[in-house]
C-alpha cells in the first residue's frame, strides 16, 4: 500500500501551497488516469521537454520511445529529469480576467532514470504500458519481435521525489466583483472517446472490441 511522502525542498509547493498533495495514493490515482507525460531534461545546455506514453508499476514510473531517441539515450546517462502529468478537468470563468483559472490535477516527479535491459522485464514493461493505455489490447495483438524490442527503449524512474497539485471547485472572485454583471461558473472538461473507426483493410467480419467501443480514462 502506498505511503504518504514528505515533500523535498524541491517538490514542496510555495505558491498556492493549499493545492499541494503529497500523498502517494492520491498522486498515483492521477498517474493511473493519465497516459501522456512530458519528460524534461537538459542536453548540451539546451532544455528539452518531450511528450511520451507511460505507465506506473508500484513505485516505479516507466516511459518508452525509440532506441535512437536523443531523449532516452541522454536520460539513460543519468542526467536529472523532471516528469509531469496533467489532467485538465474544467475552465473556471470568473467575473474578472485576473481570477479566471482551471480545475486540474497534476503530478511532478524528479529523479534519474535508467534503461531496462533485462529482456523479460522490458517485455513486461511494454505489456503494462499497453494495458495502461488500453486494457485488453495486448492479448489480441501481435507481440513484439526481437528487432522491434531492440528498436525500443524502456526507461524506469523510481517515484521517490514527487508532489501533486490539485485545483477543484467553483469560481473565487474578489468580493467587490460579485456585483459585476457577467456570467461566471465552471465549464467541465472530459476526455470522451468517439465511435471506433474501422481500418480500411480490416478483415471481413471483424468488429471493434468492447474495450475500444467503451473506452474511458476514468479509473
Q: What angle do CA 12, 17, 19 make, to 5 degrees?
A: 110
Contacts of 128 (CB under 8 A, 6+ apart): 55, 57, 62
What local confidence, expressed as pLDDT, does residue 219 receive? 60
Give domain status of residue 219, yes or no.
Answer: no
For residue 194, the number of C-alpha atoms closer than 13 Å in the C-beta half-sphere is: 2
Domain count for the chain, please give it: 1
Is it the case that residue 2 has pLDDT exceeding 60?
no
pLDDT in tens, 46-89: 899 999 999 999 999 999 888 777 777 778 788 899 999 999 99
Is it the case that residue 1 has pLDDT exceeding 70?
no
What local confidence, expressed as pLDDT, does residue 160 receive? 95
CATH number at residue 115: 2.30.110.10
Q: How many residues does the chain have?
A: 219
Give domain status of residue 146, yes or no.
Answer: yes
Give domain status of residue 12, yes or no.
Answer: no
Q: Which domain holds residue 81?
A: 17-213
Beta bridge partners of 81: 111
pLDDT in tens, 104-160: 999 999 999 999 989 999 999 999 999 999 999 999 999 999 999 999 999 999 999
Radius of gyration of the CA atoms of the chain, in A? 21
Give domain status of residue 32, yes or no.
Answer: yes
Pair 92, 189: CB distance under 8 Å: no
What local confidence, expressed as pLDDT, does residue 4 receive? 54
Amino acid at each position: 500500500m502506498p505511503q504518504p511522502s514528505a515533500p523535498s525542498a524541491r517538490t514542496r509547493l510555495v505558491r498556492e501551497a493549499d493545492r499541494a498533495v503529497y500523498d502517494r495514493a492520491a498522486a498515483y490515482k492521477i498517474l493511473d488516469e493519465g497516459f501522456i507525460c512530458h519528460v524534461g531534461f537538459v542536453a548540451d545546455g539546451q532544455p528539452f521537454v518531450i511528450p511520451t506514453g507511460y505507465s506506473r508499476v508500484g513505485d516505479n514510473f516507466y516511459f518508452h520511445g525509440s532506441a535512437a531517441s536523443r531523449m532516452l539515450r541522454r536520460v539513460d546517462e543519468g542526467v536529472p529529469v523532471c516528469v509531469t502529468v496533467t489532467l485538465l478537468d474544467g475552465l473556471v470563468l470568473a467575473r474578472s480576467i485576473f481570477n479566471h483559472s482551471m480545475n486540474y490535477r497534476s503530478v511532478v516527479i524528479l529523479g534519474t532514470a535508467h534503461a531496462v535491459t533485462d529482456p523479460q522485464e522490458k517485455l513486461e514493461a511494454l505489456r503494462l504500458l499497453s494495458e495502461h493505455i488500453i486494457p485488453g489490447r495486448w492479448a489480441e495483438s501481435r507481440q513484439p519481435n526481437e528487432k522491434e524490442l531492440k528498436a525500443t527503449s524502456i526507461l524506469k524512474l523510481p517515484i521517490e521525489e514527487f508532489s501533486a497539485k490539485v485545483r477543484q471547485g467553483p469560481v473565487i472572485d474578489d468580493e467587490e466583483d460579485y456585483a459585476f454583471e457577467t456570467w461566471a461558473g465552471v465549464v467541465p472538461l472530459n476526455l470522451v472517446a468517439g465511435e471506433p473507426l474501422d481500418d480500411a483493410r480490416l478483415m471481413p467480419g471483424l468488429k471493434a472490441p468492447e474495450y475500444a467501443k467503451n473506452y474511458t480514462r476514468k479509473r
